[in-house]
Amino acid sequence: MSLILFEQDGPIGNITLNNPDQLNAMTPPMAQELNALVPQINGNAQIRAVILTGAGRAFSAGGNLQFILDHTGKDLKENKRKMIEFYSKFLSVRDIEVPVIAAVNGHAMGAGLCIAMACDIRLASSDAKMGVNFAKIGLSSGMGTLHFLTRLSSPAIAADLLFTGRTLTAEEALSLGLVNRVFAATELNSKAKALAEEIANNAPLPLKIMKKGIQKAPLLSLEEVFDYESGGQAETFNTEDLKEGVKAAQEKRPPKFSGR
């Protein structure tokens, strides 16, 4: 059984974490499949937005518990190496060049919430539950939790959630900035698709440049952002899509971007 499903729907790529019997718990084989998919998506010029979700009733319950137990009592350096490899393969979702929307369709716990936070935009069903419950099983945080939580919310919120390990409702996650929007469970897929289509209607090169810039910006000075944005605008000045976009605005019609 493939642990990662991929389907293309016009300009939209759909990635599904596919181990519903285990609530899409994250394992090295799943990580390997996701990592291998990223260059395929980046090599497909037709894809302009991606949706990531989970099969069944959960987005992801987090790290597979047996996988965690298998690392107990082993060499510290070897465990550290394996964890970095595990994180990197799942977080390769950040290397997808087009915008990625997480459609959080149920529980997203621990590392499962981290991969959602690694996406560019997060939509959640109203019945979703989220948390970074590492401490509740005697584990320190991983999968970039400290990076994502402190940037999406704040160090104080990160401390609250990590120290208590408490579970959030979708609405509380929304209020803390961990998700962008909340929808009824029956509407989540259609709303995610509508958002992906709205994004896909824009010129693809500026989206790729801005996505990379958003990832960089929290660590850059204003002058460094000027340098990045001026380079991005200089690059897009030389595209056919810019000419089409300006012409469409002048003619008061929707643009038809070619990606050139």
Predicted confidence (pLDDT) per residue in 4-47, tens digit:
999 999 999 999 999 999 999 999 999 999 999 999 999 999 99
Q: Look at residue 64 in the predicted model and tell me its pLDDT.
A: 79
Give buried/exposed letters for 86-115 (b at 16+ CB in 10 A, else e): bbebbbbbbebbbbbbbbbbbbbbbbbbbb
Q: Give the mean model confidence (pLDDT) for residues 212-226.
A: 95
Q: How far is CA 59 from the centre of its chain?
A: 12
Q: Look at residue 70 in the predicted model and tell me its pLDDT.
A: 81
Q: Which residue type occupies 251? A: E
Domain residue spans in the chain? 4-200, 204-251
Q: Which residue type occupies 18? A: N
Q: Look at residue 253 in the predicted model and tell me its pLDDT.
A: 92
| Residue among 17, 229, 45 nearest 102 (CA) | 17
* 49 vs 82, more confident: 49
Superfamily of domain 4-200: 2-enoyl-CoA Hydratase; Chain A, domain 1 (3.90.226.10)
Mapped onto helix, strand or coil, the DSSP state of residue 138 is coil
Q: Look at residue 31 in the predicted model and tell me its pLDDT.
A: 97
For the ranges 90-104, 156-170, 186-200, 246-260, the lowest mean pLDDT is seen at 246-260
Each residue's pLDDT tens digit, 46-76: 999 999 999 999 999 998 788 888 878 788 8
Q: Look at residue 65 in the predicted model and tell me its pLDDT.
A: 82
For the chain, give the mean pLDDT.
Answer: 95
DSSP state of 92: G
Residue 201: φ, ψ to 5°:
-75, -15
Q: Look at residue 181 in the predicted model and tell me its pLDDT.
A: 98
Q: Look at residue 74 in the predicted model and tell me its pLDDT.
A: 80
Mapped onto helix, strand or coil, the DSSP state of residue 254 is coil
Each residue's pLDDT tens digit, 123-160: 999 999 999 999 999 999 999 999 999 999 999 999 99
CA–CA distances in Å: residue 167 to residues 5, 120, 131, 144, 185: 28, 22, 5, 19, 18
Q: Which residue type occupies 189? A: N
pLDDT reading at 224 higher than 90: yes
Q: Give the mean model confidence (pLDDT) for residues 211-240.
A: 96
Q: Give the mean model confidence (pLDDT) for residues 80-92.
A: 94
**CB count in 10 Å sphere of residue 223:** 8
Q: Give the mean model confidence (pLDDT) for residues 177-205.
A: 97
**CB count in 10 Å sphere of residue 52:** 26
